[in-house]
Amino acid sequence: MENGESPKRPHERLDVWRDSMDLVEMIYRLSDGFPRSERFGLTSQLRRAVVSVPSNIAEGAARRSTAEYLRFPSIARGSLSEASTQLQIARRLGFTQTTADAERLIDKIFARLTALMKSLDNRGE
């Protein structure tokens, strides 16, 4: 490749992976304002949940079989739901005032993960 760059890995070509990486950045910035007493509580849980989303998308895309691949977007959706719940908890507890942008992105990623899973299901038939 030109400029010594390596070719993109399969997951890096997926819009859902790129969106989930944006969500990670958004949540890290948002949770930076949480109380210090939550550093090992909700802050840590929320960050782990969002990091799990692109990580599982990447791991699935690297799998050899469609059946193996299909498992990982499902895990990513679970982590996304976990993060959504934790974000709502943070808002209810007053750790953040607005979560609308993050919630919109979570909805977008969830829909894209669902579409990816349907596509993989169709490929497996």
pLDDT mean over 79-100: 94
Query: For residue 2, is it within any domain?
Result: no
Domain membership flag for residue 5 = no
pLDDT band at 6 (very low <50, low <70, confident <90, very high): low
In percent, the amount of the chain with pLDDT more than 90 equals 79
Mean of pLDDT values over 79-102: 94
What does the pLDDT read at residue 5? Answer: 54
Q: Is 6 inside any structural domain?
A: no
Q: Which domain holds residue 68?
A: 11-124
- Whole-number pLDDT of residue 1: 40
Got the DSSP string for 56-111?
HHHHHHT-SSHHHHHHHHHHHHHHHHHHHHHHHHHHHTTS-S--HHHHHHHHHHHH
Residue 4 included in any domain? no
CATH of the domain at 45: 1.20.1440.60
Residue 1 domain flag: no
Count of domains forming the chain: 1
pLDDT digits (tens, 9 = 90+) for 29-55: 999 999 999 999 999 999 999 999 999
CA nearest neighbour of 55 among 9, 98, 86, 100: 9
**Which of these ranges, 25-29, 63-67, 85-89, has the smallest mean pLDDT?**
63-67
Decide if 106 is inside a domain: yes
Instruction: Please choose, from the candidates 105, 107, 106, 87, the residue with its C-alpha nearest in 3D space to the C-alpha of residue 97.
Output: 87
Predicted TM-score (pTM) of the model is 0.89
Structure token pair of residue 38: 């939550």
pLDDT recorded at residue 21: 98
pLDDT band at 123 (very low <50, low <70, confident <90, very high): confident
